[in-house]
Chains A and B, each alone.
Chain A
Amino acid sequence: MTRLAAALVFAVVCACVLARMPLHAAAAQAQPAGNQWQFNDEDEQAPGWKDVVRSQAVDLGVFAGFTVLALVSFFRKDKTLKYVTLAACVVLLGFWKSQLITIVNIFGLISLDLPIFRYSLAWYLLATFTVVSTVLWGRLYCGRMCAFGALTQLMDAALPASWRREPPAWLERRASFIKYGILAAAILYFVVTRDRFIYRYIEPFWMFGFHGSIVMWSLLAVLLVATVFVRNLYCRFLCPVGAALGVLSNLTVFQIKRWKECKTCKICEKACEWGAIQGPKIIKSECVRCDDCERLYTDTKKCPHWLILLKDLKKAQPTVAAPSR
């Protein structure tokens, strides 16, 4: 049911965007006869695709390279490579380019004020990848392509685990709905006032450009101090973009597999940094595909699925198993 609803919403949004996306740059105006000004008219012509790509080659290269890195780390389930991805994310997409998917993009979708495709290829690459990857695998963007999420994950890896306080499950489950409230309130506020600048107070992403008022920096300080004790606090409970992608992630095509033993086993549930596992179920909208549980369930020494399988195997072939002791 949620899948169907999410699919419908997704289809409608896609149709609206495709219908309104400024695919074509403004056509150069007709030249009046006797162009006495002798302007170089080529300046005004919409550039050909070769020029377009050449002038945005650096941005495109950075985004394409980073996307490949993120995907390789995801498919190889490699922990080291994941942290390389996160560090690259903070540096490249954070401090260098300050290119994050933000609530402003959701406002842009609502008012259909999107950048011109031809002149903003890198942004469209990032936005398309975000949407497509969320439909295919879930909140992959949140897990390794958002610079702020990457920053708090790196913080968590660097800080001693003993400082960490895990909220009780009942509180965590309820708190995770706050972000949907923030998303709904922000959208309502935008629709009524058309004021986009509320983003500064509901998202900390401006920090990568160091543009902030004293109030904003103070709020960020409080948030970061709280994040020391409750890991990934912002992503799990507060982020409106995460909430929007969470809605979309109900469509997830390639979901994390579960064994039948997952009904009783709690190892992954305890290990999940994101509070996304509840008993046998993975809450898709909370999961950011961090690989932690997937690494565990392929681990033949830790996962009961394999341990039981091995035990059964030994039972079935006692004579074969015996000499090897």
Chain B
Amino acid sequence: MRRFPSLSPALAAIAVVCALVSLAAQAPAEARLQLQLKQLFPGATTFSPKGGDPPHFKAFNGQTLLGLAFWTTELQPLERAYDGPIKILVGMDTKGILTGIIVVEHHEPYGNFSVDTPGFAAQFRGKNIRDAFKVGVDVDAISRATISVTSSSRAIRNSARLAARQLLTAPTQ
């Protein structure tokens, strides 16, 4: 009877390949992040590295703070959509107005990937974080993606408000 070859060399090889791939992916990921931050704050000249509590990036034009950017998955770690968390980069100016959102990673299948479309992201640009973010009221409903859309909206609103409470001074009305 033929014996099966031992699995451990194969597993070791796979582990090495994975490690190399993740190392190689580091540099482009950083470059991509800079592009995404730039997309949320076109007027910014520099971005701080991520830091603080809750974790955020600061966007500067020279010395002037233009706003903050943060990951919904870091500020609202318990939020779940149809298939796990939807990773969204949110940009917000110092007055609590969203400068935009970028859906960076999600696993939503079928119609649920409608959160990927430009139309979904566009409706959050210029939105005040005092708004209710209720799907069907001030956020467009997508009939085949109810779970994904409601989850994303909650994640964006709650993480933006958390960041605002902790890091920004409310503008006088």
Give the B-binding residues of A (Cβ under 8 A).
Answer: 22, 25-26, 29, 31-32, 35-40, 43-44, 59, 96-98, 100, 102, 104, 107-108, 111, 113-116, 119-120, 123, 196-197, 199, 205-206, 208-209, 211
B164–A37 touching, CB < 8 Å: yes
B140, CB-defined interface residue at 8 Å = no
Contact of A39 among B113, B130, B134 (CB under 8 A): B130
- B106-154 with Cβ < 8 A to chain A: 107, 109-111, 113, 129-130, 132-134, 143-144, 146-147, 150-151
Beyond A36-B170, A44-B158, A113-B107, is A108–B83 a contact (Cβ under 8 Å)? yes
B165–A32 touching, CB < 8 Å: yes
A38–B107 touching, CB < 8 Å: no
List, in ascending order, chain A residues with CB within 8 A of B96's CB.
37
Beyond A98-B110, A196-B107, A206-B110, is A37–B162 a contact (Cβ under 8 Å)? no
A211–B113 touching, CB < 8 Å: yes
A120 and B161 alpha carbons, distance in the complex (Å): 24
Beyond A26-B76, A44-B157, A98-B144, is A119–B150 a contact (Cβ under 8 Å)? yes
Most buried by B among A38, A108, A208: A108
A37–B109 touching, CB < 8 Å: no
A104–B162 touching, CB < 8 Å: no
Q: How far is the CB of B164 from chain A (nearest CB, A)?
A: 6
List, in ascending order, chain B residues with CB within 8 A of A31's CB.
165
Q: Give the A-B pair count, Cβ closer than 8 A.
A: 94
List, in ascending order, chain A residues with CB within 8 A of B133's CB.
43
What does DSSP make chain A's interface, helix, strand, loop or mixed?
loop
B80, CB-defined interface residue at 8 Å = yes
Contact of B161 among A44, A98, A199 (CB under 8 A): A44
B170–A37 touching, CB < 8 Å: yes
Q: How far is the CB of B18 from chain A (nearest CB, A)?
A: 10
**18 interchain pairs (CB within 8 A)?**
A22-B78, A26-B78, A26-B158, A31-B165, A37-B96, A37-B161, A39-B130, A43-B132, A59-B146, A97-B143, A104-B110, A108-B84, A113-B107, A119-B147, A120-B82, A199-B109, A206-B110, A211-B113
B132–A32 touching, CB < 8 Å: no
List, in ascending order, chain B residues with CB within 8 A of A98's CB.
110-111, 144
Q: Considering only CB atoms and an 8 Å cut-off, how many residues of chain B contact the other chain?
A: 34
Beyond A37-B165, A119-B147, A209-B144, is A196–B76 a contact (Cβ under 8 Å)? no
B83–A36 touching, CB < 8 Å: no
A199 and B110 alpha carbons, distance in the complex (Å): 9
A111–B84 touching, CB < 8 Å: yes
List, in ascending order, chain B residues with CB within 8 A of A32's CB.
165-166
Contact flags (1/0) for B96-112 with A, using CB distance below 8 Å? 10000000000101110
List, in ascending order, chain A residues with CB within 8 A of B130's CB.
37-40
Contact of A209 among B111, B129, B158 (CB under 8 A): B111
Most buried by B among A29, A38, A205, A206: A29
Beyond A32-B166, A98-B144, A209-B144, is A116–B80 a contact (Cβ under 8 Å)? yes
B170–A211 touching, CB < 8 Å: no
B92, CB-defined interface residue at 8 Å = no
B162–A36 touching, CB < 8 Å: no
Q: Which 4 A-B pairs have the closest CB atoms?
A: A113-B84, A26-B78, A209-B111, A36-B170
B169, CB-defined interface residue at 8 Å = yes
B78–A115 touching, CB < 8 Å: no
Beyond A36-B169, A39-B130, is A114–B110 a contact (Cβ under 8 Å)? no
Residue of B nearest to A43 (CB): B132
B170–A43 touching, CB < 8 Å: no
Given contacts A37-B96, A119-B147, 15 further A-B contacts (CB under 8 A): A26-B79, A26-B158, A39-B161, A43-B132, A43-B134, A44-B158, A96-B143, A104-B109, A108-B84, A111-B84, A113-B84, A115-B80, A196-B109, A206-B109, A208-B144
Q: How far is the CB of B147 from chain A (nearest CB, A)?
A: 5
B81, CB-defined interface residue at 8 Å = yes
Q: How far is the CB of A3 from chain B (nearest CB, A)?
A: 31
Beyond A37-B130, A59-B146, is A114–B80 a contact (Cβ under 8 Å)? yes
A113–B83 touching, CB < 8 Å: yes
B111–A211 touching, CB < 8 Å: yes
